[in-house]
Structure 1
Amino acid sequence: MNRIAHLALAVAVTLSSSVVVASANAADMSVTEIEQQIAQTQSDYDNYHKNLEAEEAVARELERELEALRENAALADVDRQAALIEMNLQYERMVEDPTLDITGVQKKYQEAVLAHKRLKDAITDKYNEWQNKLRAVEQLQVSKHSLLNTLESLKEKLNSARIDRLYAEFNRKNSVTVSHNVVCDRDETINKCMERGKNLAKQKASKRFLDELYDSLSDKVEAERRRSSSDAYVQVLRSEVTDSNFSGMGNFNVQMAVELQGNLKRNEGCQLLGLDKRYCVGAKNKAQDVAELVTETSTAVATDESVMHELTVRSNVYDDEVFIDGVSYGSTRLQIMLPAGEHDIEVVKRGFEPYRQTINLNETRTLRVDLERAKHTFAKGERIQDILAGDIPGPELVVIPAGTFRMGDINGVGLENERPVSTQDLMNSYGMSEFEVTVGDFEKFVEATSYVTEAEKTKGCAYYENGKAVWAEQRNWRAPGFVQTEKSPVVCVSVNDAQAYVDWLSEASTHRYRLPTEVEWEYAARAGTESDYWWGNGVGTDNANCGWCGSQWSNVSTAPVGAFERNDYGLYDTVGNVWEWSTSNRAQAGAVVRGGAWNFAPRLARVSTRMEIDPEFRSNYIGFRVLREQ
């Protein structure tokens, strides 16, 4: 236990120092400082992972030793019984023959009893040692996951800091002195030749300055790779002719001092470095983005034709599709010239209610469309719902079809426990709750059964603070530490609590409900894809509720279930919001959480990420969803 205590103390110090860094604003730390912290935290994590594996190996060895002692105790008990029988036989003979010496068999019986007792005592000691080791390993597992989240948080800060650095390095001013020589055309006036020479000199200075900007960037390799597709540019602020002259051959020589300014919008910085847009679309940039959009609209000029007018269509979502008179014109923001008169406008996007309107176009017009999320739209999967005893509606389910898929770290960016990638066959379809089990759902169960959760019985519920899981006795599913509604996913529940809920569902519905296996969970969450998230390999912005994912709930609390778009099998919140309990034959304790959470980094919300947790653990970032067999 001393080794565990020392290790836990070392980890606590590491986590504490790492979290201080992770919680700092990117503006307070340079890219180099964050990279150094990442390297140190990664080293700590790697060493800690090795130590944890060693402790798990010790726990397994103790279990084997315990089993060996139990086997030896069983054999010793057989010896004790045999010695007792022999002593009783000799005692009966001694009754007939008092001169018979039975000291030897008595001693043998005494030795057998003592040997059996020693083994029983050894079993008790070994069992206690094993249980203590298991408890220590459980705490180390939780701390390991916390350290991993700290590491991923630092990586989030690093990307934000890289964008800040790029923005500062590119958007700077400088003066460039250039010389240029032009040959005046025969029919060109002197003034025109001079103006042409000065304009070419300014273009030359701009090109030189732009090259210097790219060459001086700290991330110049990444930036140069995407330079051709970037909208970054330079602006001439001031120019001054420092020397000029005409040669006898009609050549004009000019020397100019040109003051220039680099111009790179923050959202274009992400594109230049190949980073997700969420690192560039923050609260501090929204006003700038709106101002730019207004400027673009105000300067748009319609073609001056008597029977043609310009229509601009905007919507509140990305990747929508605009149909005008039944013809698709692509996605918004859309500008198009149309004949005057009536036109049927339709804007659609999967997961939203379609927008339809007939307009009479008799002038330049901007149409602003606000699409509303559809409440009951499915691309795939039948929707079913059982009515429980007492006319209580059961969870809303989506039928997941049978099929085959590749499970694990397909793209090679995951953790060691996500490998190897394996092909899994699911022979039967099943129903999966389209939402995580909500507070309202769980409350119906508690009211019907008077069930008391493990968090309410003892120790409370854990929450994530300063890089580790902290227990709070007053926290439970009713009070997890943040405001929730009946539509919030229930948290602070252990596997046993979740199992009690599905057992109640099974009894109340006469159908078999249970927790999904992690194979069934990943198959349903992938929804036929092989990317890290069901929509692609990048987490994007405001696609899910996870740490640094750009939603209003990120790193704050859980979101109401169904706040984001469902996957292609019809399931909501398989990415982020709360980790979800599943069962697994691979896990030593049989319990694994999947899917990420509101306060864990996006990389840990990938579809193949798996974390083995003790079944009795509960926290305000772990919930569950249910499966119904056919």
Structure 2
Amino acid sequence: MTNRVIQTFIFALSPFFLQATAGELSIPAAHATDNPVSVLSQKIKGVQRQQTILAEEIIVYNKKQRTLLSQQEKAATAVLDAEKNRKKAQKQLDNQFKALLNDPSADITATKNRYQQAWQSLQDSQKEKQLIAHSITEQTAIIEGSKKRQASISHEIAQLKELKKGARVKRIEKELTFNDSVDVSHTVTCNLKMTLAECAEQGKILTMQKAVRVFKAKLIDSLTESELAKVHADDVSFNIHVMNSQTLKNEFNGSSNFVTQIQSEMRSHPSNIAACQLLELKESYCVEPKSKSVSIATDNNYTSSKKWLSVTIRSNVYGDRVVVDGVDYGSTPMDVMLPSGPHQFKISKKGYQTYQRELTIDRDQTVWTELYEQKRSDGWQTTAVTP
């Protein structure tokens, strides 16, 4: 079922459903509107309890049906036996009537009574068989009706679960539009070859990246279903924008340690399918959002309208060195946060050809590099083996 259909269900059923649900569960309608996921969860539990009770009743009905079928078999056997006894008694009575023609004084009372008893036993057995057959018919109707109600309840539960999925998506979509201020500090050890300006620039870049990571963590922790969201957070594009930022501290602390403290206001604009990815739901449950015009306040190069994106860097060798925009990040594999736009990537290792190029980052992505060994003096070249 697509999200559009689910939306239609929610809007069409909202007035009646919320009123009925609030009444059944003793929940005020206002509270039901505030937390539809909770109301739907309770409604599902209530219907599931009905389903359990009905399933237990069907077990009892089926047990009674089996008992009746067993009684029917016994009744059928009793009818056959009674019919045999009646025929035997009738034959004896017929013989007594023939003997009576030769001896009018003969007493046939005992034989007549045995026949009457046999006949009555047959009538009783047939009546019992008919009553059991009638009970079986009634019991069959009860079981069929219960199974129809069971199917109806299962369908109702399935619909409620679909509505709950839609409500969960709506809730997390609202929660994902997150705005908060973060205050972080970061210390870098400046290379002796770096100028003061270069060291300060590197400190700002790394501190802003840390601020973005802190904001992302706070966003995920704030979600109602944060535990589930954490499992899939690395696969989701949160599109974090820096709305405003100011540098609180930018100074040396010791001989080569440079401390940068930044306070930034950030806002997330997640991708269209972020909610579904975090909740492990099909993308069809997510609705295309309307385009939003966002006004961005800036005070330096790090508070532009560009969004910050997650970039995963991998290579086919160990012990390499990754430099992005002149900042040394260490060895792969690694994940870095970069603002959208062009960036200079350099991945190198002694004895291997250096990977160096400009890449435009416009979404969360993985940069995979393959380094090859440099040609030896004898002209041979060996291809690096992926570990």
TM-score (structure 2 length as normaliser): 0.60
Alignment equivalent of 1:288, drawn from 280, 290, 313: 290
C-alpha change, 1:54 and 1:196, in structure 2 (3 Å) is same
- Which residue is equivalent to 2:168? 162
The match for 1:135 among 133, 141, 144 is 141
Distance 2:102 2:82 in 1: 31
Correspondent of 2:241 among 235, 241, 263? 235
**Does structure 1 residue 175 correspond to structure 2 residue 209?**
no
Pick aligned residue for 1:220 from 219, 226, 244: 226
**1:47-446, aligned counterparts within 5 Å?**
47-182=53-188, 194=200, 196-245=202-251, 249=255, 253-280=259-286, 285-286=287-288, 288=290
Secondary structure, counterpart of 1:288 in structure 2: coil
> Match of 1:35?
41
Please state whether the residue corresponding to 2:216 is helix, strand or coil: helix
State how far apart, in whole Å, the 1-side matches of 2:64 and 2:256 are: 90
- Structure 2 CA distance, aligned partners of 1:213 and 1:17? 32
Looking at structure 2, the residues matched to 130 and 190 of structure 1 have their Cα atoms a distance apart, in angstroms, of: 95
Match of 2:374 in 1: none
C-alpha distance in structure 1 between counterparts of 2:106 and 2:254, whole Å: 145
Give the aligned CA root-mean-square deviation in angstroms.
3.4
Given residue 134 of structure 1, which amino acid in structure 2 is its aligned partner? T
The equivalent of 2:323 in structure 1 is: none
Could you say if the C-alpha distance between residues 235 and 142 of structure 1 is closer, same or farther in structure 2, counting changes exceeding 3 Å? same
Letter paired with 2:117: E
SS in 2 for 1:261: strand
What does 1:604-615 correspond to in 2, within 5 Å? none
Any conservation in 1 of the 2:89–2:114 contact (CA below 8 Å)? yes
- Structure 2 CA distance, aligned partners of 1:289 and 1:215? 26
Post-superposition shift, 1:142? Answer: 0.4
Measured in 1, the distance between the counterparts of 2:174 and 2:136 equals 57
Partner of 1:530: none
How far did 1:146 drift? 0.6
Corresponding letter in the other structure for 2:112: Q
The amino acid of 2:54's aligned partner reads Y
CA distance in 2, matches of 1:121, 1:250: 107
Which letter maps to 1:96?
A: N
Q: Secondary structure at the match of 2:290?
A: helix
Distance 1:95 1:231, change over 3 A: same
Judge conservation of contact 2:239–2:271 (CA < 8 Å) in 1: no
SS of corresponding position for 1:239: strand
Q: Distance in 2 between matches of 1:128 and 1:204?
A: 79
Letter of the 1:288 counterpart: K
Separation in structure 1 between the aligned mates of residue 163 and residue 63 of structure 2, nearest angstrom: 35
Matched position secondary structure for 1:66: helix
Contact 2:276 2:285 in 1 (8 A): yes
Q: In structure 1, the residue corresponding to 2:273 is in which secondary structure?
A: helix
Map residues 579-618 of structure 1 onto 2, 5 A cutoff.
none
Identity of aligned residues (%): 25
- Counterpart secondary structure, 1:100: coil
Structure 1 residue ranges without an equivalent (≥5): 1-15, 292-630
Distance in 2 separating the partners of 1:173 and 1:290: 15
Distance 1:47 1:82 in 2: 52
Amino acid of the structure 1 residue aligned with 2:43 = Q
* Kept in 1: contact 2:252–2:258 (CA 8 A): yes
| Aligned AA (1:74) | L
**Equivalents in 2 of 1:251, 1:127: separation in Å?**
95
Q: Secondary structure at the match of 1:54?
A: helix
Deviation at 1:193, TM superposition (A): 5.3
- The answer on whether the counterparts of 2:89 and 2:118 sit within 8 Å (CA) in structure 1 is yes
- Distance in 2, matches of 1:261 and 1:287, equals 16
Q: Distance in 2 between matches of 1:160 and 1:133?
A: 41
The question of whether the paired residues in 1 share the 8 Å contact of 2:186 and 2:260 is answered with yes
CA distance in 2, matches of 1:53, 1:227: 45
Within 1, Cα distance between the matches of 2:143 and 2:92? 47
**Cα contact 1:167–1:266 (8 A) shared by 2:** no
Measured after TM superposition, the shift of residue 89 of structure 1 is 1.3
- C-alpha distance in 2, partners of 1:250/1:49? 74
Deviation at 1:189, TM superposition (A): 7.0
Gaps of 5+ in 2: 1-19, 294-387
- CA contact under 8 A between 2:272 and 2:288: conserved in structure 1? no
Q: Deviations over 1:62-121 (max 9, x none)?
A: 122123212211211111121112112112212221211111011111111111111121
Q: Higher relative CO (CA 8 A, sep ≥ 6), structure 1 or 2? A: 2
Q: Report the 3-state secondary structure (helix = DSSP H, G, I; strand = E; otherwise coil) of the residue aligned with 1:226.
A: helix
Preserved CA contact (<8 Å) 1:27 1:161: no
**Alpha-carbon distance in 2 for matches of 1:240, 1:17:** 50
State the match for 1:566 in structure 2: none
Task: For 1:145 and 1:17, locate their aligned partners in 2 and report how far apart those are by CA, in whole Å.
Answer: 21
* One-letter code aligned to 2:170: D
Q: Could you tell me how far apart the structure 2 residues matched to 1:202 and 1:97 are?
A: 129
Corresponding letter in the other structure for 1:201:
T
Aligned AA (2:240): V
Q: Deviations over 1:22-71 (max 9, x none)?
A: xx9x9764434433333333333233212212212212321221232122
Q: Which structure 2 residues correspond to residues 456-467 of structure 1 after superposition, within 5 A?
A: none
- The alignment's TM-score, normalised by the length of structure 1, stands at 0.38
- C-alpha distance in structure 2 between counterparts of 1:29 and 1:63, whole Å: 51
Cα deviation 1:399-434 (Å, max 9, x = unaligned): xxxxxxxxxxxxxxxxxxxxxxxxxxxxxxxxxxxx
3-state SS, counterpart of residue 115 of structure 1: helix
Once residues 247 and 58 of structure 1 are traced to their aligned partners in structure 2, the CA distance between those partners, rounded to angstroms, is 85
